[in-house]
Structure 1
Amino acid sequence: MSHDSGGHGFDRRDILKGLGVGGVAGLAGCTNNSSTPTATDDDGEGDATATETATETAESLGDTLVGPDGNQVELTHVYSTGSQTTETTAEFIGQKLGEVGINTNLTGLGFNQMLAQYAQNGGSFNGGPRDESTSAEPWDLMTGIGFNAYPRTPSSINVFWSDVDSDIATVNYYGYKPSEPVEPKLSEASQTADEATRRELFGEVFGIISEDQPADFLTLSTYLNGFRDRVNGLGEPDLSFGWNYQTRYFGDSPSVGGTYVSGTSAPARTLNPIRSNDAESDARIGLPLDGAYTLVGGESEFQGLWFESYEQNEDATAFEFTLRDNLQWGADYGQMTADDWVYYIRNVRQSDVNWAGDVNHSTFFQNGEPMGVEQVDELTFRITLNQPDPAFIQKPILWGAYCLPRGLVEPYYERVQDASNEEEQIAIGNELNEDEEILTMAYAGNLGPYSYERWDRDAVFVASRNEDYYAANTVADWGDVPYFEEYRIQVFSEQSTRISAFQAGEIDATGIPQAQYETLSNTDGINVVLSPNPFLGLMPYNQRANGWDQLRTKEVRQAISTAIPKQVIAEQINRGLATPAYTHQPEYSRWYVADQVVRFGGPDSNGVGQAQRLLADNLADGYSFE
């Protein structure tokens, strides 16, 4: 869920997030002191046994990096607009690469537009082999995007870092091929219940990723959730913050009334659960649809929503889920039953051809093979795994998962079966995507706290209180939830306009820019809640055929990361409200293994001279510094 819109729910199954609520600070110079990156101990000190450390500052090799064509190397750097922090970070990266001798061409555009033009191919975030599938527009570097680190279940990062040719790598739009396979290690970590073994395997993976530098891992920031002080019932500001947003209310005690307006900086891409894997879309979808269950507290405890309970066998290979008996679809589709889930999983989520455009099509597979799915009784179905997975409940497989009624999907799937080729099947999926019941969420019934009213894509999403909400007076000892008569998500293209509306009390909640954190947190009538952020801000390197071909060499990627001092980005551009990131896991995670991580761009591992030497030693023939 989108914390940009005021902490509306936990991130659930969101894969990607636009980093659109930050502030900006002035840039300060950084030293050119340089050393070879080192792995670090848990106390943060360099481990001399991991790699050698340079003892002298590396001198510059020249002002300009020239390619085989005799021209200066120029890279296209795309970034999402709407955040001064993102823009300033992009400008700072351009400044540092300019010192190395590389010119950058900055292109700023809206987050969803950036994904559509530079990350997707035919609606997919991985269209296939990197020499054959490219985005609509060429690019080299990308900022303003956050990848979910899944600190509860790091094996879920396999969608980002598995080999680009693997069906698992559904979000590998940058064409990364690991120097050493990471998927087998992540798979083994999933199967073992021994925590020490899991931590060792995760540590090896984080080390491979940090050394390969498929992206420059930049920062991990904190969510700054702003609320007008008339909003109460906020809950605990932990990793699960916002999971029970249904219990928020205006005034001193819970009672029904009022219109709640949250402000956000970006519109949603879709209202189709099959095609949603971004925070903004899920923020809208999550109002009429709760999802299967959520995870709460430091121990990631199961909290049933549509699912009342679950049971698992001793070796964690079979899981049975039981639905509540008061769940009703809308549009005359009747009761939600186990049959709906089995049909949906088998024929949409596990279909041989991804006809429906499922953006997480690998979810219900293990090692390329589909998990077993069968109905036990009217309200219970069983998932049988191909191998043990003690962390299955915590993974974004059924956690927060949505479903569509069989009666809605079946007519389309029957046509898919009769289609003569894959192109026809995908066309049928596109028709489903445009079905009026999908576009208006008419099938949602009593399955969420609010009911769809209207959606002006670039302006506002409006939902009204669902008086038949199944969870009222049942789930987690909730009362007569929800308490707002109407819930609005308002889009503001300009950050200044959004914050002015918040200060004036025209909206009730929004993400707080870092530059205004101190001022707004001390302003009467405003409450700023800080909560952990599982999304890492990073800069992927495009290793597909429409990126600079030298980015396929890991040492070249290392060189660019070495040129960019992360402490400056974290402490100055992000005003100290972020910490440097060096691999795809936050340091607060119990699975983070510091002594495996190579810290490119760290305080002892950055500089122009060292970056140039890495380039000089690893670029193809014909490149030189002048």
Structure 2
Amino acid sequence: TITIRDDLWWSDGVEVTAEDYVYTLKNLMFSDWLNYPYQTDWQETVNGETVFVEPEVANETTFVIKRKTVDPEFLDGSIYSLTPYPKHIAIKYEGDVKAFTQAEEFNNLTYTGNLGPYKFKEWIRNDKYVVERNPDFYLGQDTGAPYFEQYIIKLFGTPAAVHAALEAGDIQYTGIEPEQVAKFKQMEGIKVYTVPTRSYDLIIYNLRNNGWEGLDNKEVRQALSMSIDKQAVINSIRLGFGDPAFSFIPKPSPWYTEEGVSKFGFG
């Protein structure tokens, strides 16, 4: 059961309701005509058959999604990332993928009302994407958010171009490669922060028919994994920026644990 706020509206003043969410799911994301790329996030296997979950409107601010099976990742992976479309606008383009994808309201994001902290302002292909402060943001009265009048995302073709822009002061923030850290730490006016991330690198063994048959043996795979000096890999490739990982759940995750984890490799 999902309950939405009762103080949300689209740009034309129409209130955002549970009907918008359910319409987005059933008529857009689950449809054949729109070719939504993440349909499998909303599917489950029941008695050997792949079916969609069942969203239903309960009232104006509440909708229910019924499942036949249990998926502990469904809430975090699908529900939290669900972005609704306004039914009263989208229904005009339903069934026509060209009209839908070229609709001015959707391309220019002029329909978003008070849903987000920023509003679309400008997009120059291969150059920059600009958003400006949304004075109607639903959290604005409580927190004063957002805190910037304008936000610009600059696009660059190469890492060298990014580095040059940072050195020149044309941009205020970017990620840099490990081999660039020492250089930028010495520059006046630039601060380098090392922060944990949720990404990880991994070795995947080929268990398909065209792979080495020895890899079908679990003990062989474990032996190969045991032989890897993970800290040496981190030191030589990541220049020390990283920690040995023994699970697909990264350390910054609130679900990280070492309990019951078999550690293959060393470091």
For the superposition of Structure 1 and Structure 2, which TM-score range results when normalised by the shorter chain?
A: 0.7 to 0.9
1:373 aligns with 2:38: no
The TM-score with structure 1 as length reference comes to 0.36
Match of residue 578, structure 1, among 220, 235, 242? 242
Alpha-carbon distance change, 532 to 385 in structure 1, aligned in 2, over 3 angstroms: farther
Q: Which residue of 2 aligns with 1:471?
A: 139
Q: By how many angstroms is 1:429 displaced?
A: 3.0
Q: By how many angstroms is 1:554 displaced?
A: 7.1
1:441 aligns with 2:109: yes
Q: Which residue of 1 aligns with 2:42?
A: 364
Contact 2:53 2:67 in 1 (8 A): yes
Q: Which residue of 1 aligns with 2:17?
A: 337
Alpha-carbon distance change, 473 to 570 in structure 1, aligned in 2, over 3 angstroms: same
Match of residue 407, structure 1, among 88, 108, 119? 88
Alpha-carbon distance change, 553 to 572 in structure 1, aligned in 2, over 3 angstroms: same
Match runs of 1:107-122 below 5 Å? none
RMSD: 3.4
Separation in 2, partners of 1:345, 1:553:
44
Separation in 2, partners of 1:550, 1:567:
31
Separation in 1, partners of 2:88, 2:212:
47
1:530 aligns with 2:197: no
Q: By how many angstroms is 1:576 displaced?
A: 0.7
- 1:433-452 Cα offsets, whole Å, 9 max, x none, are 33332222222222211111
1:497 aligns with 2:164: no
Contact 2:205 2:215 in 1 (8 A): no
Contact 1:338 1:380 in 2 (8 A): yes
Match runs of 1:300-315 below 5 Å? none
Q: Secondary structure at the match of 1:555?
A: helix
Q: Which residue of 1 aligns with 2:65?
A: 383
Q: Which residue of 1 aligns with 2:28?
A: 348
Separation in 1, partners of 2:73, 2:110:
34
Contact 1:447 1:469 in 2 (8 A): yes
Identify which of structures 1 and 2 has the higher relative contact order when contacts are C-alpha pairs closer than 8 Å and 6+ apart: 1
Which residues of structure 2 form unaligned runs of 5+? none
Separation in 2, partners of 1:333, 1:362:
33
- 1:327-369 Cα offsets, whole Å, 9 max, x none, are 2223x37221111001111222333x3x322222122233333
Q: Secondary structure at the match of 1:569?
A: helix
1:482 aligns with 2:142: no
Q: By how many angstroms is 1:468 displaced?
A: 1.8
Contact 1:349 1:363 in 2 (8 A): no
Q: Secondary structure at the match of 1:453?
A: strand
Separation in 2, partners of 1:456, 1:347:
32
Residue identity over aligned pairs, in percent, reads 29
- 1:380-403 Cα offsets, whole Å, 9 max, x none, are 22223324566654x211113211
Match runs of 1:231-250 below 5 Å? none
Separation in 1, partners of 2:85, 2:67:
23
- 1:416-435 Cα offsets, whole Å, 9 max, x none, are xxxxxxxxxxxx33542333
Q: Secondary structure at the match of 1:382?
A: strand
Q: Secondary structure at the match of 1:473?
A: helix
Q: Secondary structure at the match of 1:454?
A: strand
Separation in 1, partners of 2:168, 2:247:
40
Alpha-carbon distance change, 440 to 590 in structure 1, aligned in 2, over 3 angstroms: same
- Opposite residue 64 of structure 2, the aligned amino acid is R
Alpha-carbon distance change, 564 to 387 in structure 1, aligned in 2, over 3 angstroms: closer
Q: By how many angstroms is 1:497 displaced?
A: 2.5
Alpha-carbon distance change, 565 to 358 in structure 1, aligned in 2, over 3 angstroms: farther
Q: By how many angstroms is 1:406 displaced?
A: 1.1
Separation in 2, partners of 1:488, 1:528:
20
Q: Secondary structure at the match of 2:148?
A: coil
Match runs of 1:169-568 below 5 Å? 319=1, 321-330=2-11, 332=12, 334-351=14-31, 353=32, 355-367=33-45, 368-388=50-70, 393=75, 395-413=76-94, 415=95, 428-474=96-142, 478-479=143-144, 481-521=145-185, 523-538=187-202, 550-551=210-211, 555=215, 566-568=230-232
Separation in 1, partners of 2:192, 2:200:
21
Alpha-carbon distance change, 375 to 569 in structure 1, aligned in 2, over 3 angstroms: same
Q: By how many angstroms is 1:510 displaced?
A: 1.0
Separation in 2, partners of 1:565, 1:554:
22
Q: By how many angstroms is 1:488 displaced?
A: 0.5
Q: Which residue of 2 aligns with 1:297?
A: none
Q: By how many angstroms is 1:495 displaced?
A: 1.6
Q: Secondary structure at the match of 1:578?
A: coil
Contact 1:464 1:485 in 2 (8 A): yes
Q: Secondary structure at the match of 1:497?
A: helix
Separation in 2, partners of 1:553, 1:361:
34
Q: Which residue of 2 aligns with 1:590?
A: 257
Match runs of 1:124-143 below 5 Å? none
Match runs of 1:34-73 below 5 Å? none
Separation in 2, partners of 1:356, 1:543:
34
- 1:576-597 Cα offsets, whole Å, 9 max, x none, are 10234465333662277431x6
